[in-house]
Amino acid sequence: MVRQCVILVGGMGTRLGDLTKAVPKPMLPVNGRPFVDMLIDEAARHGFDRIVLLAGYLGGQVMEHCAGTRRIAGRDIEVSVIVEPEAAGTGGALTFLRDVAEDNFLLMNGDSWFDLDLREFATVEPGTTPFLLRMALRPVADASRFGTVTLEGDRVRAFLPRGTAEGGLMNAGIYLVRRALLDQIYRKPCSLEGDIFPMLAGHGLIQGKVRDAFLIDIGVPADYAAAPELLAKHRTRPAVFFDRDGVLNHDAGYTHKPEELVWLPGAKEAIGQVNRMGWYAFVVTNQGGIGRGLYGIRDAEAFHARMNEDLAETGAHIDEFRLSPFHPQGSVPEFTGDSPCRKPNPGMLTDLAALWPIDMARSLMFGDKQSDMQAAAAAGVRGILHEGGDLQARLNAALRG
């Protein structure tokens, strides 16, 4: 499972004029937070927990704000910052990754957001012709502002300057990179777009993946000004809340060991479908075994990490796992008694709704117990009882009804 995500945040941002005189572009505020924070959140919810920021211009600010461990989506996310010692271009900057790059990593521009399922994008189907770089491509009707590519089968063959074609496919600024690509960069400065990509394309080493989705680039003033409203609108979407035991995995009673994970019929497929729809996928699970002292929170988290590793093989993911460790008759004092987050109370759902931009009125909750249905109702979410059978079939029936 690819877990490293590299974000290019070194640009000068000259097109933004005075805005970037004292602040590097990815640190510009959008809806009250530096833009790059939203990109880190996006990577985190797709299961990328090792983030590397390649900084340059005013890199000290990036270092000061971003470096360290953050808790996002219930996971510890390590953010490290490399400030390039000299301006090496977007291609040359990658050479500073040689000591830290993993075999495969996601690479993205730090000044744009493309609404892509990053986990699906980072999953390579068996039998795929080898590539050094997978590039996300987006259809554009008017190519006067963008360079485009020519695609033959799944290979990018050439790059056309802006204005050459009427419309076509543009580079959307997100890549899956094989570490071996770094060995192809031996002079600095050099540009990914100008030097490295055309060379790779000539050898058939770039695979293109076309996705028609929302993209915003904050690198020009009009788009930066429009970003707050557009981002809020496009990131707000429904969620599917899944109870865990008895819905996603076989419930053997206080199941918590990763090796005991047995998926139920249609569960992985249902989660993948929710991902493809662009909806959030959450797990909300009572883990009273923790309150009873049978296992710890870290054990439950390890179980959830295994679930996401299994899901990643199919290009699917859970955005966040929420658990309630409480048990009414617990033996661990701090987790004994009732809690707003123990179902049938809605706390896990309402906490998620406070953190993520969720359209609750269109959201769904699948559970195998009445307490799941009560939690859903109290959170204003439509509950669907699932006591057995194929979960994906149940999801499709719910979406039709």
- Label residue 376 exposed, middle or buried (CB < 10 Å: 0-12, 13-18, 19+): buried
Nearer to Mg ion (CB atom), residue 2 or residue 373: 373
Strand 133-140 versus strand 4-9 pairing type = unpaired
Instruction: Kindly tell me which of 109 and 345 has the beta carbon lying closer to Mg ion.
Output: 345
Positions marked catalytic: 243, 245
Query: Which tokens belong to 197?
Result: 């990509």
The least distance separating Mg ion from the CB of residue 251, rounded to whole angstroms, comes to: 6
* Distance of alpha carbon 183 from alpha carbon 98, whole angstroms: 9
How far are the Cα atoms of 306, 345, 390 from residue 377, in angstroms, in the given order? 30, 10, 23
**Which of 145, 392, 101 is CA-nearest to residue 273?**
392
From CA 328, how far away is CA 336, in angstroms rounded? 5
Identify which of residues 41 and 245 has a Cβ nearer to Mg ion in the complex.
Answer: 245
Neighbours of 40 (CB within 10 A): 20
CB atoms within 10 A of CB 52: 21
69's tokens: 């461990």
In angstroms, the CA 262 to CA 233 distance is: 37
Kindly tell me which of 4 and 392 has the beta carbon lying closer to Mg ion: 392
Nearer to Mg ion, 235 or 268 (CB): 268
Tokens, residue 388: 């057995």
User: Which residue number, 42 or 243, has a Cβ lying nearer to Mg ion?
Assistant: 243
For residues 195 and 243, which CB has a smaller minimum distance to Mg ion in the complex? 243
- Specify the pairing of strand 168-178 against strand 215-217: unpaired
Strands of 129-232 (E only): list them: 133-140, 148-152, 155-160, 168-178, 206-210, 215-217
Q: Give CA–CA dist 392/256, Å, rounded.
A: 24
First to last CA, the chain: 35
CB of 243 to Mg ion, least distance (A): 4
Rounded-to-integer distance, Cα 29 and Cα 36, Å: 9
6, two tokens: 């590299």
**φ, ψ of residue 293 in degrees (nearest 5):** 80, 15
| Residue whose beta carbon is closest to Mg ion | 246
Distance between CA atoms of 201 and 388, rounded to whole angstroms? 49
Using DSSP, state whether 134 is helix, strand or coil: strand
- Helix or strand holding residue 72 (H, E): strand 68-72
The residues that touch Mg ion, with contacts defined as CB under 5 A, are 243, 245-246, 368
Q: How far is the CB of 284 from Mg ion (least distance, A)?
A: 10
Q: Closer CB to Mg ion, residue 72 or residue 270?
A: 270
